[in-house]
Structure formats: structure tokens, C-alpha cells
Amino acid sequence: MSNQHINIGVIGAGRIGKIHAENIATRIPGARLAAVADVNLNSARELGARFQVPLIAADCQEILKDTSIAAVAICSSSETHAQLIEDASAAGKHIFCEKPIDLKVERIKRALVAAQKAGVKLQIGFNRRFDPTFARAREFVASGKVGEVHLVRVTSRDPAPPPLEYAKQSGGLFLDMTIHDFDMVRFLTGSEVVEVFATGAALVEPDLKRLGDVDTCVVTLRLQNGAMAVIDNSRRAVYGYDQRAEVFGTHGMIEVGNPVPDAHRHLDETGEHSAKLQTFFIDRYADAYRAEMQSFVDCLRLDRPPAVSGMDGLLATMIGLAAGNSLAANRPVTLDPSELRGVS
């Protein structure tokens, strides 16, 4: 595929589908937005019209049947992901899929096996790996500049909670929000999680307790290399979208802070003032969304493995499920990554 544009169809014309569609159409060299499908045909038509997309459909099977389309970006609702991976694999399409693959481990495994047997590439949408500052932190750790890693701290706090209707079908805080942080711990350290202990409460939105969910949590992880990690999450940070990380080791530490729209400092008699944090994840991770899709296209053009594999998606989900079990039982839960041999 190295000398031709790669035709990509986007399945799902919601918020994340619009981001990926725009990037494919306007910002990704070597890619072409060839199709948009959504069960809400009007949404598909509206998005497709923006970029003069030749194929617009309510049924994604029309994309899968089109032999000119080499790959799909699955951006539909979470409960459809695993089946669409299987369908796209059967159609011989390479796959970019938003997280989570599914909320059940066995269902995820079946989807990964389908992609493996079909010989198609599968990349999972953990966009934070492609954020320049987080990627730089990983480089420092991998090069040994931090030394032997002892402690990792990750903070992730949203400006406002999602609607309750969304929360009902999201899989809960650990599989919807903290899953990114579980992946970030694995990414930053290069080590697997072997023990999870989670505590949490519904402090922002009390109705979440009725759904068996929480909006505020602290999760402690023990890693295979002996290091420890602590994640804290909140669904409401009144000051903005708060995304930070720190890796501490024998040679020092690397820290990732929050970018701001500009770096001014204003001092007056009331104190020191600066720009507010960004308040929307799309703004905070705009570069990361573009970079992850470029990485997917490059892996197709250069025939190399995807930067974020289906196994990465499975492992993050397993940690999320373990966190939910830990919260319910109020005790640590162990994980054994070696049980996944034979799954890719």
C-alpha cells in the first residue's frame, strides 16, 4: 500500500467519528475518507457532505462490501465494537477501533482472534499515547533517564460528569474513564499490572450510586517489575480538564503537566493569575487524535504492527474489570497477564 492512498470508511458519525473523519479527510497524508456510515442516516449525510464523501450509508455493511475500501475506523457505540471487528475482519478490512473493544473479556478475545485469523491489522484508540508530552515521558523512561521505576502517579479529572443516560451504558468509571489511565501506566512503565486495589464513591453525582457506579476514585496498582502506581479520578474539576502524570525512579523523575492556551502570568494585588486549563478533551488531545490516525495509516502503508494492539485494549479492560471487583469486595484483586498467551 506504500504508493497509493488508503481508502478509509468511518463507522459512526458522532463526536469521536467527526474528529477522525476530519483528520482523515484533511490532515492525514496518504489517507482518503471514502465512506461514512451511521444508523442515523442524517448524521452520516451531514458529516459526509462536509468532505464530499462518495459513499454515505445507514448500514455499515455497505462499507464492508466495498472492495475499494481498505480500512475502517470504528467509532460507533461501545456495545457494537466487538461485532464490528469480527465483521470487518471477515471482509478483509484493516481496523482502527475506539475503546473499549467490549466490556467482557471473552468477547474481546473472540474479536482479537477473528482479526488475527483474517490477517488484518487492528489498532485500538488509546489516543493519550500519542500526546507529545506523554510520549516524551515514555521516551525518558525507556531510555533509562529515570532509572529503575519505583512510583507512578496519574491524575485524570474531567470538567463535568457525563449525562446519566451515557453513564448507564458506559461500563462505569473504570471502563470508560480510568481505562485510559490504566493504559497510560502500562505505556509509561512498560510493565504489566499484577494487582489492583480500588476505592471510590459517588461524590459528584449521587444518582450514580444507584447504577452501581462511582465518579471519584483512587486506584493503587502493583506492577510486575515491582513498581507501584496510584491513579486518582474525578468526574468534576471546576477549574478545567486536569491531566497529569509523574514517573519517579532511581535516577530522577519525569513529570507531565497540563497545557494551557497561552503561558502568560499576571500579577496584581490579589495574587498571580494565568490562563485557565482547557475544558474539553477534544481540545486537549487534538494533536494526539491526529497522530494516532497517522500512525494507523503509516502501519498500513509500511506494513508494520499497529502502535496500540488489540492486546493493549484487552489488558486495559481486564484491569478495569479487576478494579470494579476490587471496589465491590473492598480488597486487592490479582491479575496474571501470562494467562493471555496465544491471544494477540
Burial of residue 326 (CB within 10 Å: 0-12, 13-18, 19+) is: buried
Higher-scoring residue by pLDDT: 342, 82: 82
Does the pLDDT at position 332 exceed 70?
yes
Q: Final residue of a domain: which of 62, 94, 120? A: 120
Kindly state whether residues 221 and 241 are assigned to the same domain. yes
Q: Is the pLDDT of residue 342 over 60?
A: no
Is residue 306, in this structure, part of any structural domain at all?
Answer: no
User: Sheet containing 122-124: which strands, arranged edge to edge?
Assistant: 55-57, 31-37, 6-11, 71-74, 94-97, 122-124
Would you say residue 93 has pLDDT above 80? yes
User: How are beta strands 242-249 and 149-157 bridged, if at all?
Assistant: antiparallel
* Parent domain of 170: 129-284+312-340
Specify which residues 193 forms β-bridges with.
223
| 304 is a domain residue | no
Q: Residue 50 — pLDDT band, cuts 50, 70, 90?
A: very high
H or E stretch including 252?
Answer: strand 252-256
Q: 195 and 159, same structural domain?
A: yes
pLDDT tens for residues 111-137?
999 999 999 999 999 999 999 999 999
In a domain, 297, yes or no: no
Cell of 283: 481540545
> Cα separation of 78 and 101, whole Å?
7
How far apart, in Å, do the first and last CA atoms of the chain sit? Answer: 23
Q: Do 226 and 332 reside in the same domain of the chain?
A: yes
Instruction: Provide the whole-model pTM.
Output: 0.93
Amino acid at 254: I
Instruction: Specify whether the CB–CB gap between 83 and 110 falls below 8 A.
Output: no
Question: Of 78, 94, 120, which marks where a domain is finished?
Answer: 120
Residues 74 and 107 in one domain: yes
Asked if residue 300 is part of any domain, the answer here is no
Verify that 14 and 39 share a domain, yes or no.
Answer: yes
Query: Which of 105, 127, 176, 171 is closest to 343 using CA atoms?
Result: 105
Q: Same domain for 83 and 155?
A: no
Q: What is the mean pLDDT of residues 94-109?
A: 97
Q: What is the CATH number of the domain that holds 59?
A: 3.40.50.720
Is residue 153 located within the same domain as residue 235? yes
Over the chain, what is the mean pLDDT? 95
Domain tally, the chain: 2
Q: Decide if 289 contacts 17 (C-beta within 8 A).
A: no
Look at residue 299 and tell me if it is in a domain: no
Same structural domain for residues 145 and 110?
no
* Cα–Cα distances in angstroms (integers) from residue 152 to residues 116, 173, 318, in the given order: 33, 20, 19
- 235 and 160 Cβ atoms separated by less than 8 Å: yes
For residue 322, give the CATH number of its domain: 3.30.360.10
71 and 182 inside one domain: no
Same domain, residue pair 93 and 140: no
* 307 within a domain of the structure (yes/no): no
- Would residue 290 count as lying in a domain? no
- CA 249 – CA 268 distance, rounded (Å): 39
Give residue 250's pLDDT: 98
- Do 116 and 133 share a domain, yes or no? no
Q: Which of 344, 329, 307, 153 is nearest to 232 (CA)?
A: 153
161 plus 83 within the same structural domain: no
> Do β-strands 55-57 and 71-74 pair in parallel, antiparallel, or remain unpaired?
unpaired
Q: Is residue 323 part of a domain?
A: yes
Please give the average per-residue pLDDT across 63-74, as a whole number. 98
Q: Domain boundary residue among 102, 120, 138?
A: 120
pLDDT at 280 over 80: no
Please report the pLDDT score of residue 242 as a whole number: 96
